[in-house]
Structure 1
Amino acid sequence: MSSADIEAARHVLARLGVTPEQLLQSQHVPLSTVPTFAQYIPVVRATVSVGTGQAYSSYWNRITERWGQRGLDEPLPSEIEHFAMTIRSSTVIRRNARGGRSAAEHLIAALRCVYRHAENDGYLPPGTNPALKVAKPRRLASTRRAIPDGQLAQINHITATTGNDPALDSLILRLHTETACRRGGALAITPADLDPGPCLVRLAEKGDTVRWQPVSPTLMAHLQHHAQTRATPRDSQLLRYANGRPITKRRYDYLWSRVGKHLPWVATQQITTHWLRHTTLTWVERNFGYATARAYAGHSDNANAGATATYVRASLPEIATALAALTGEPHPLAGN
């Protein structure tokens, strides 16, 4: 740009009553308009999915307690890193604790979520998310594994012969063993999600994924009987106590605590419902291959799966065939 052009631009700005400094400032949101964490976190809570809100809720509470009156643009990456280390060191130590890594990871993820929404809403310039500059703790390999058949039989026996509602607990275990669903997926099932003709259950799980999963005719009959005898409304949670009250994740805690008292190795190894998912998917992969196990698990296609996953998707009849072999029961959708 020539000196004449610069002079002409200055002349135009002067006539408009605008200084070059004001033009530079207009590219950024004035500091006074940037909300505090206490003001903005409720906005984010109302925007995210139920699952995301449940995962980050306690961490957003901690952020509000610590930085509630600070503006979103104030904390530096070094402060976020120190905050994560504080959270990590203050985590309650349990036998299955992993050094507070998960707590630190979730705090950073919760902050990234807040900053991402703030950028989208125009409160922060794009690309200024300070939480992205803080590395999450490296994840350790999972200690979960497939449960041997003999031990799984022991778990099912104790479940069916002890407790204040063995019918409910046995239904829970069979549901997870057949479908390999997650706890949240089981708790979200309603009577409207049961399709008895083709023996399918609709599962809504993490990441807002929804899929139809084959179940055995025996399990379908028990799910329908449970809904009828416990007076479950069609569009309400299926799994309920005998008094009609919906169960929560605390029922799972009670179940495994009870089993652990009768089978000490269950308590020692910290076995939970998610081990059933590992057990079923390991069996399916060994007997029917990776593609079928991936579809059985309800894993969606993503970049980490590789391009090959696009071409080797397993069909619903293939999943039903694996289920039929697992349960020893014919399934309406299973192939020959």
Structure 2
Amino acid sequence: MTHHPDAPELDAARLLLAKMGVTPEDLLGAAAPKPQAPTFADYIPEVAKAVSPGTKRVYGTYWNRILEHWGDRHLDEPTTLEIQQLAEAVRSQVVVRRNARGGRGAAEHLIAAIRCLYNHAVADNLITEGDNPAKNATKPRRLASTRRGLTDNRLNEINHIAATTGDDPALDTLILRLHIETACRRGGALVLTLRDLDPDQCLIRLHEKGETVRWQPVSPTLMTHLREHAQQRGTTKPTDQLLRYRNGTPITRRRYDHLWTRIGTTSPG
């Protein structure tokens, strides 16, 4: 049975509280004001330090776009609708290329990049899972892939262009031969080192997406050319990047960009 205090009891309680310097409002347990969430400009650099180099490379461009639009805003300010609007704005500004898919990839990556930020914010107790505005943001529906195998004629044409144009045909043809034989990704080729070559068994160790590692058989011809390339271009330490320019500088992703731009503009197809 619930006890309801009478007037004398209430008066006694008020007197006791007054002696203690406590007001009835203090007993209501008013929650302390919640600290304001950091701004995107403050938080994005911290998240960038916590992710892998691959994630930072993929999301970095989109984090920069978020900084351009919302750098001074706090994480708890944008709504799900605003995230969708920002994704559409990024999608509409995509540079149109021959393989463009209407900016869907840009919008998808923007939402993935901002979800990454908010997932870290939830883990840091800066916002609650229920207050995460990126959780319900929808990515564009993916279209069917347009990737397909190359015909022998098309592949011969690509190899011919690489071998007869550009400032380093030997490098370009070696790159193509490596990918044709191993089906490795660009990232796997760029981190290939001397210690990843097993000439006795004609195997190459490939480090690829998702931290996967695999040993791939290759032809004796490719193994010979890779080792000669390393010797001629100054790859001496076991941990040195293997693929290099004539001056000994390791190649970067830009080499692929230039190579495929040249093939695309030279090829009649």
TM range (shorter): 0.7 to 0.9
Structure-2 residue corresponding to 1:43: 46
Match of 1:262 among 259, 266, 269: 266
Q: d(CA) in 2 for partners of 1:240 and 1:157?
A: 21
Q: d(CA) in 2 for partners of 1:74 and 1:224?
A: 56
Q: Which one has the bigger helix percentage?
A: 1
TM-score, normalising length: structure 1 = 0.69
| Deviation, structure 1 residue 110 | 0.4
* Alignment-mate amino acid for residue 224 of structure 1: R
Structure-2 residue corresponding to 1:234: 238
- 2:79 maps to 1:80: no
| Deviation, structure 1 residue 48 | 0.5
Q: d(CA) in 2 for partners of 1:214 and 1:118?
A: 44
What percent of counterpart residues are identical?
A: 60
Unaligned runs of 5+ in 1: 5-10, 266-336
* Alignment-mate amino acid for residue 262 of structure 1: T
Matches within 5 A, 1:51-62: 51-62=54-65
Q: d(CA) in 2 for partners of 1:94 and 1:174?
A: 26
Matches within 5 A, 1:144-163: 144-163=147-166
* Alignment-mate amino acid for residue 253 of structure 1: D
* Alignment-mate amino acid for residue 119 of structure 1: V
Q: d(CA) in 1 for partners of 2:240 and 2:38?
A: 38
Matches within 5 A, 1:148-187: 148-187=151-190
Unaligned runs of 5+ in 2: 4-12
Matches within 5 A, 1:86-125: 86-125=89-128
- 2:140 maps to 1:141: no
Q: d(CA) in 2 for partners of 1:194 and 1:20?
A: 71
| Deviation, structure 1 residue 193 | 1.7
| Deviation, structure 1 residue 259 | 2.5
Q: d(CA) in 2 for partners of 1:121 and 1:201?
A: 41
| Deviation, structure 1 residue 216 | 1.9
| Deviation, structure 1 residue 19 | 3.8
Cα–Cα, structure 1 residues 51 and 3, in superposed 2: closer, same or farther, change >3 Å?
Answer: farther
| SS at structure 1 position matched to 2:206 | strand
Superposed CA deviations along residues 26-52 of structure 1, whole A, max 9, x for unmatched, are 7xx8232x2111111111101111111
Q: d(CA) in 1 for partners of 2:55 and 2:259?
A: 26
Q: d(CA) in 2 for partners of 1:3 and 1:217?
A: 90
TM-score, normalising length: structure 2 = 0.86
Match of 2:194 among 182, 191, 195: 191
Structure-2 residue corresponding to 1:285: none
* Alignment-mate amino acid for residue 138 of structure 1: R
Cα–Cα, structure 1 residues 19 and 73, in superposed 2: closer, same or farther, change >3 Å?
Answer: farther
Structure-2 residue corresponding to 1:223: 226
Structure-1 residue corresponding to 2:249: 245
| Deviation, structure 1 residue 127 | 4.3
Cα–Cα, structure 1 residues 95 and 157, in superposed 2: closer, same or farther, change >3 Å?
Answer: closer
Q: d(CA) in 2 for partners of 1:261 and 1:19?
A: 76
Q: d(CA) in 1 for partners of 2:212 and 2:70?
A: 34
Superposed CA deviations along residues 104-163 of structure 1, whole A, max 9, x for unmatched, are 111100000000111111211234321121110011112221001122122222222332
| SS at structure 2 position matched to 1:31 | coil
| Deviation, structure 1 residue 170 | 0.8
Cα–Cα, structure 1 residues 117 and 3, in superposed 2: closer, same or farther, change >3 Å?
Answer: farther
| SS at structure 1 position matched to 2:166 | coil
Larger Rg: 2
Q: d(CA) in 1 for partners of 2:213 and 2:34?
A: 42
Q: d(CA) in 2 for partners of 1:254 and 1:46?
A: 30
Structure-2 residue corresponding to 1:284: none
Query: What count of residue pairs does the alignment treat as equivalent?
Result: 250
| Deviation, structure 1 residue 181 | 0.9
